[in-house]
Amino acid sequence: MFEAPESSPKLRCPTCGAAQVWSDTCRRCRSDLSLLHQALRGVQRLRRACLAALRDGRYDDAVEAARRCCRLDASQANRHLLAMAQFYRGRFAAAVRLAQGR
**What are 27-40's pLDDT values in tens digits?**
999 999 999 889 88
| Terminal-to-terminal C-alpha distance of the chain | 18
In a domain, 1, yes or no: no
The domain in which residue 51 lies consists of: 10-99
Q: What is the pLDDT of residue 9?
A: 64
> What is the value of pTM for the model shown?
0.77
Please state, in angstroms and rounded to a whole number, the distance separating the CA atoms of residues 89 and 102: 19
- Decide if 3 is inside a domain: no
What pLDDT sits at residue 8? 59
What's the structural domain count of the chain? 1
- Give yes or no for a contact between 83 and 99, defined as CB atoms under 8 angstroms apart: yes
In which residue ranges of the chain is pLDDT below 50? 1-5
Distance, CA of 44 to chain centre: 6
Q: Does residue 57 lie within any of the structural domains?
A: yes
CATH number, domain of 47, equals: 1.25.40
